[in-house]
Amino acid sequence: QVIAYSRHRYRILGETLDVAVGNCIDRLARLLQIPNAPSPGYNVEQLAKRGPQNGNPEQFGGTLKPLFCSSQAVSPKLLESGEATPEDLCFSLQ
């Protein structure tokens, strides 16, 4: 779950039953060889702020599992062909 605390209440912003959000971010960071310091999530967010550079930022839309499976299978091909940058993929994940 992605949860926010505001006005003395917790609010559920999103949830998934397939892949944990943090796990998805960590795996994408590992796939893109993004450094762990200070944290993979922070580094993915910084790259996402610079994207999208080209293409459709929603190309991996849907739940996290299809997004992760798509990015894991497709990301190297998109990066090699120049169709996407690491920033584009991080933006899509965000």
Q: Transcribe 2-33 into DSSP letters.
A: EEEEETTEEEEEE--SSS-HHHHHHHHHHHTT
Compare 68 and 21 and report the one with higher pLDDT: 21
Q: For residue 24, is it within any domain?
A: yes
- Average pLDDT estimate for 12-37: 82
Which range of residues forms the domain containing residue 83? Answer: 19-93
Q: For residue 77, is it within any domain?
A: yes
| pLDDT at 87 > cutoff 80 | yes
Q: For residue 10, is it within any domain?
A: no
Q: For residue 7, is it within any domain?
A: no
Give this prediction's pTM.
Answer: 0.64
Tens-digit pLDDT profile for residues 42-78: 999 999 888 775 555 555 444 445 555 555 666 777 7
Q: For residue 39, is it within any domain?
A: yes
Q: For residue 71, is it within any domain?
A: yes
Q: For residue 55, is it within any domain?
A: yes
What total of structural domains would you count in the chain? 1
